[in-house]
Amino acid sequence: MNQPPYIDIHTHRCAPKAGVECLCVYRLGSGDAEPPAPFVAGVHPWDVAQADFSLLDYFAAPHSGLVGVGEIGLDFAREAVDRSLQVEWLNRQLAVAERLGLPVVVHSVRAYNEMALELKKYSLKAVVFHGFIGSPELINQLSRSGYAFSFGAASLRSPKTREALQAVAPDRLFLESDDDPQADIRALYDTVAALRQVPLPALKENLYANYKRIFNG
């Protein structure tokens, strides 16, 4: 039987790799070109200080290949970016996702409580926390709201996040290379298959099914 491809759920470096499918990120207002399909688009919390709300006009027209709103979010470790402005941008983009019926990919750093409060205001198709770093308790708490989690190489450097990765339910799990030029998503799958004690083909099938369910339906 044919194996499904590796799915890299979040990458800023959309180079083709054998056996790998990517969900690219289009950082609106950053000057980057629109990536190859499929992609998510949004104004990153790091960019909001320079951004104009007219960037949201992007979502007024249809874009083939657009499958979600992201990455959007809150980064309270970035003290240079005003928190209330980040919250305003998050809300406006969550409203877009709700209106278009699109899933969202969120970036959340030192802001999980605030993020959970904002997300609850909207009826969203799905929410994926990308680059997740946090405890199994945090996963449990956020899982109750139906959210999913994507882990990258940086996640694995945190012991409590390795525990969280072992605990997350199979239907809530994704893996990603993000912006790491050294990242090899295939190696990450190997590591995670070992950590979760599942065969690699089962992990690939599991994550590809999650991708199809959330982004491709």
Binding segment (CB under 5 A) for Zn ion, from list 15-23, 35-43, 66-74, 166-174? 66-74
Within 176-205, which residues bind Zn ion (CB under 5 A)? 178
Least Cβ distance, residue 152 to Zn ion (angstroms): 9
- Given the complex with Zn ion, which of 108 and 210 has the nearer CB atom? 108
CA distances for 157 relative to 1, 109, 165, 206, angstroms? 35, 16, 12, 23
Least Cβ distance, residue 197 to Zn ion (angstroms): 28
Q: Categorise residue 91: left if φ over 0, alpha if ψ from -120 to 50, beta otherwise.
A: alpha
Least Cβ distance, residue 47 to Zn ion (angstroms): 12
Residue 33 identity (one-letter amino acid): A
**How many residues appear in the chain?**
217
Least Cβ distance, residue 158 to Zn ion (angstroms): 17
- Given the complex with Zn ion, which of 158 and 163 has the nearer CB atom? 158
Nearest alpha-carbon partner for 144 in 122, 125, 172: 172
- Given the complex with Zn ion, which of 118 and 178 has the nearer CB atom? 178
Alpha-carbon distance 60 to 52, whole Å? 15
Residue appearing with tokens 């980040």 = 86
Q: Judged by CB under 5 A, how many residues of this single chain contact Zn ion?
A: 2
Least Cβ distance, residue 10 to Zn ion (angstroms): 6
Q: Write the interaction track for Zn ion spanning residues 142-181; mark x where CB under 5 A is met and - where it is not.
A: ------------------------------------x---
- Given the complex with Zn ion, which of 184 and 205 has the nearer CB atom? 184
Least Cβ distance, residue 25 to Zn ion (angstroms): 5
- Given the complex with Zn ion, which of 30 and 191 has the nearer CB atom? 30
Binding site for Zn ion (CB under 5 A): 71, 178
